[in-house]
Amino acid sequence: MVETFEDIRASVRTLCAGFPGSYWQALDAERGYPDRFVRALTEAGFLAALIPAEHGGSGLGLTAAAAILEEVQAAGCNGGACHAQMYTMGTLLRHGSPAQKARFLPAVARGDLRLQAFGVTEPTSGTDTSRIRTTAVRHGDGWLVNGQKVWTSRVEHSDLMLLLARTTPREDVEQPHDGLSVFFDRHSRGAGGGLQTRPIRAMINHHSWEVFFDDLKVPGRR
Ligand SMILES: Cc1cc2nc3c(=O)[nH]c(=O)nc-3n(C[C@H](O)[C@H](O)[C@H](O)COP(=O)(O)OP(=O)(O)OC[C@H]3O[C@@H](n4cnc5c(N)ncnc54)[C@H](O)[C@@H]3O)c2cc1C
């Protein structure tokens, strides 16, 4: 039998009923971020659906996560304000070290840290990520990042950004996607210290930014 997650769906519908069209229209008018909605989803545990139970989440699968977001959208709320936390999580779960998982996941599950941003797309590379030009080079114990991302959504509303950078030049690798690395930049919801942002005014209220890296220091801890 196919699991349809009716209990979860009903809970999401109840939560979303507290965020009617007028809430979203007011945010659209001022280009505001739905902090109260994101906090409510977090406190109810929905944004931690994919975090394993041992790290403070509910340890659900992708179908349950999809059901949560489907109900959010069906209720007229905007999952786009926070859905990235669910799909960036997969990278941390699959490729993060045990120490990184222990450090970040419980805090993300509690809502103390937001993992809402990912920097992949660049002005000269969209679908073909092998062409990214942002580089990270070894610097002492950590890394120095230089380059630019574009359409980095929610970067000003997130504590952590999943950042794709080239660590070995494309001409020195066998396969185009070899030599790319993923970093977790902890930037505390704003610019500074080698990271500058510039908002992109899109027709939808999507909170996207251009992000510029000028010797951004990323710690090398794994
Ligand atoms: C509102 C919004 C929010 C976004 N948020 C983020 C974000 O948070 N982080 C982030 O990193 N990016 C984000 N993006 C970027 C988005 O993921 C990119 O737009 C996407 O990767 C496509 O890149 P591109 O626009 O350069 O299109 P291109 O790569 O130039 O592609 C243009 C079209 O050509 C097609 N195409 C490309 N290559 C091929 C091929 N080889 N064969 C056939 N068809 C092909 C594509 O499917 C597409 O239809 C956002 C974009 C928008 C509009």
What average pLDDT score do residues 193-202 get?
91
State residue 190's pLDDT score. Answer: 65
pTM across the whole model: 0.93
Q: For ligand 1, atom 35, which residue shows the shortest CA distance? A: 127
pLDDT class for 11, splitting at 50, 70, 90?
Answer: very high
Measured from the Cα of 149, ligand 1's closest atom is 11
Instruction: Collect all residues with Cβ–Cβ distance below 8 Å to 209 and sequence separation of at least 6.
Output: 152, 153, 155, 156, 197, 198, 199, 200
State residue 2's pLDDT score. Answer: 79
How far does residue 128's CA lie from ligand 1's centre (Å)?
Answer: 9
How far does residue 126's CA lie from ligand 1's centre (Å)?
Answer: 5
pLDDT class for 129, splitting at 50, 70, 90?
Answer: very high
Determine if ligand 1 sits within 6 Å of the CB of residue 206. Answer: yes
Residue 167 burial (10 A CB sphere; 0-12, 13-18, 19+): middle
Euclidean distance between CA atoms 195 and 214, whole angstroms: 6
pLDDT surpassing 90 at residue 106? yes
What average pLDDT score do residues 151-179 get?
95
Euclidean distance between CA atoms 100 and 98, whole angstroms: 6
CB 38 within 8 A of CB 81: yes
Ramachandran angles phi, psi of 51, nearest 5°: -80, 130
Task: Work out the mean pLDDT of the chain and round it to a whole number.
Answer: 93
Determine if ligand 1 sits within 6 Å of the CB of residue 126. Answer: yes
Instruction: Collect all residues with Cβ–Cβ distance below 8 Å to 99 and sequence separation of at least 6.
Output: 221, 222
State residue 189's pLDDT score. Answer: 63
Nearest residue to 40 (alpha-carbon basis) of 89, 1, 75? 75
State residue 184's pLDDT score. Answer: 87
* Residue 85 Cα to chain centre, angstroms: 5
How far does residue 118's CA lie from ligand 1's centre (Å)?
Answer: 14
What Cα–Cα distance (Å) separates residue 104 from each residue in 15, 208, 215?
26, 24, 24
Determine if ligand 1 sits within 6 Å of the CB of residue 153. Answer: yes
Measured from the Cα of 128, ligand 1's closest atom is 29
Q: How many CB atoms lie within 10 A of CB 179?
A: 17
Instruction: Collect all residues with Cβ–Cβ distance below 8 Å to 102 and sequence separation of at least 6.
Output: 55
H helix count then E strand count, the chain: 6, 7
Q: For ligand 1, atom 46, which residue shows the shortest CA distance? A: 127
Q: For ligand 1, atom 44, which residue shows the shortest CA distance? A: 127
Nearest residue to 17 (alpha-carbon basis) of 67, 63, 98, 72? 72
The pairing of beta strand 117-119 with beta strand 160-166: parallel
Q: Which range has the worst mean pLDDT, 91-95, 102-106, 157-161, 192-196? A: 192-196
Q: For ligand 1, atom 25, which residue shows the shortest CA distance? A: 126
Q: For ligand 1, atom 2, which residue shows the shortest CA distance? A: 151
pLDDT surpassing 90 at residue 58? yes
State residue 187's pLDDT score. Answer: 77
CB 210 within 8 A of CB 131: no
Measured from the Cα of 127, ligand 1's closest atom is 29
Measured from the Cα of 155, ligand 1's closest atom is 8
What are the structural domains of the chain? 6-110 (1.10.540.10), 117-218 (2.40.110.10)
pLDDT surpassing 80 at residue 192? no
State residue 186's pLDDT score. Answer: 84
